[in-house]
Amino acid sequence: MRYYGHRKLWALAALLLSLLELSNGSIASASTFPRDFGVRMSPSVAFSDHTARSTASSVISVLKMRGGASKRKATSAAKTVTGKKKLSKGKEDVESPMADLMAFLMTVPTFTRIYLYGMVFITVLGNLIGEERAHAIFSLDPMRVLFGMEIWRPLTAACFLGKPSMQWVTSLYSVFKYGSQLERSYKGAQFLVFLATTLLLSSMLSTVLGQPFIAQAVITSMLHVLARTTPNETVVWYVMKVPHFTLPYLNALTDCFNAQGSLAAMIPHIIGILAGHFYFFHKVLWPKMERGEDWLIAPDFLVEVVDGKDVTNKDKKKNKRKSGGRKLGSIAGTA
């Protein structure tokens, strides 16, 4: 009851204020009132309209005086908290997270991006069809590759990451990081030669050692080549700073420790280190020796097709033989 009494008092106060305004002001003539669609308003209608407007303005003023709830002003989004002008994007500039992701992926070198797509597709597909079927279709089986013409198996074996785990994220990030660095350094054609060499050697060694999948071996091979390129560079491994050339071995020990001391967890890393060392030796070290040749150089047609340039390797082939090259002992000291 007290609430309704207050409302009556405020309504009465508003009515008194409106009467005071009417008594102090003069009523406008009919000619001064606005016209609606060209129709002239009569004095009685104009008077009632003026009265309603005055009453409404009085009520609003009373509400402001008592500090009651009023219509909130829309805050301007054009200023920041400090009062400075806010720089905002237009509607056409606003991008979705998916668009940002696609824009980021397009910055990744071509063949590294294709390899990432293949890993995601094969891994997701393998988990959808089940682990047993994935092993039956995607695993590295030399007899089926040679005699059954199932030539996709080395590729799928290099892309399948197994059951869902944090290893997915680690492997994809490693391919993105190491693959991007190698492809930017070697260019696309030479990076394809590296992938083909690593894939072939990893498949052969995995067949001998009984490893059905070689994705980790390919990743370790990438890391080993980068580590041998800059062996004395300091890198961060978890919270420690270590020489770059030790990183592949430390990763192998980490996987062995996570597998509760099982040496089988180190086998993919060993395969990758051997494959990476084979490529690095014949690509970098062997040409520097006396009568050494760089026989892993990308062919001219592959360079022209992949890199999109009219590039020839004639000058490189002239330098394949180093008559005054250093011996193995001097190279080993620098590598």
Tens digits of residue pLDDT in 126-182: 999 999 999 999 999 999 998 989 999 999 999 999 999 888 999 999 999 999 999
Tell whether 236 is covered by a domain. Answer: yes
CATH (domain of 328) = 1.20.1540.10
- Cβ proximity of 224 and 169 under 8 Å: no
Which pair of tokens denotes residue 227? 């580590």
Tell whether 22 is covered by a domain. Answer: no
Q: How many CB atoms lie within 10 A of CB 36?
A: 9
Tens digits of residue pLDDT in 97-127: 888 878 888 889 999 999 999 999 999 999 9
Tell whether 260 is covered by a domain. Answer: yes
Q: How many CA atoms lie within 13 A of 300 on its CB side?
A: 8
- Cβ proximity of 182 and 148 under 8 Å: no
Query: 3-class SS at 85?
Result: strand
Tally of domains within the chain: 1
- Cβ proximity of 174 and 220 under 8 Å: no
Helices 215-229 and 267-280, interaxial angle, to 10°? Answer: 50
Rounded to a whole number of angstroms, the CA Rg of the chain reads: 38
Tell whether 86 is covered by a domain. Answer: no
Tell whether 151 is covered by a domain. Answer: yes
Q: What pLDDT was estimated at residue 101?
A: 77
Please list the ranges in the chain whose pLDDT falls under 70. Answer: 1-95, 309-335
Query: Rounded CA gap, 328 and 174, in Å?
Result: 32
CA 151 to chain centroid, in Å, comes to 31
Q: List, in sequence order, every residue forming a beta bridge with 243; answer none if it has no partner.
A: 234
- Cβ proximity of 295 and 282 under 8 Å: yes
Q: What pLDDT was estimated at residue 98?
A: 80
Domain that holds residue 209: 97-334
Query: Rounded CA gap, 222 and 158, in Å?
Result: 13
Query: Rounded CA gap, 238 and 251, in Å?
Result: 11
Which pair of tokens denotes residue 131? 């682990």
Q: What pLDDT was estimated at residue 104?
A: 80
Tell whether 24 is covered by a domain. Answer: no
Tell whether 21 is covered by a domain. Answer: no
Taken in order 22, 24, 26, 32, the sign of the CA dihedral is negative
End-to-end CA distance of the chain: 94
Q: Which residues contact 251 (CB under 8 A, 6 or more apart)?
A: 220, 223, 269
Q: What pLDDT was estimated at residue 89?
A: 52
- Cβ proximity of 248 and 272 under 8 Å: yes
- Cβ proximity of 140 and 157 under 8 Å: yes
- Cβ proximity of 175 and 198 under 8 Å: no
Query: Rounded CA gap, 114 and 126, in Å?
Result: 18
**Burial class of 260 by CB neighbour count within 10 A (0 to 12, 13 to 18, 19+):** exposed
Query: Rounded CA gap, 34 and 46, in Å?
Result: 9
Which pair of tokens denotes residue 219? 């990743």
Query: Rounded CA gap, 101 and 91, in Å?
Result: 19
Q: What pLDDT was estimated at residue 35?
A: 45
Tell whether 44 is covered by a domain. Answer: no
Q: What pLDDT was estimated at residue 290?
A: 82
> How much is the pTM?
0.66
CA 201 to chain centroid, in Å, comes to 31
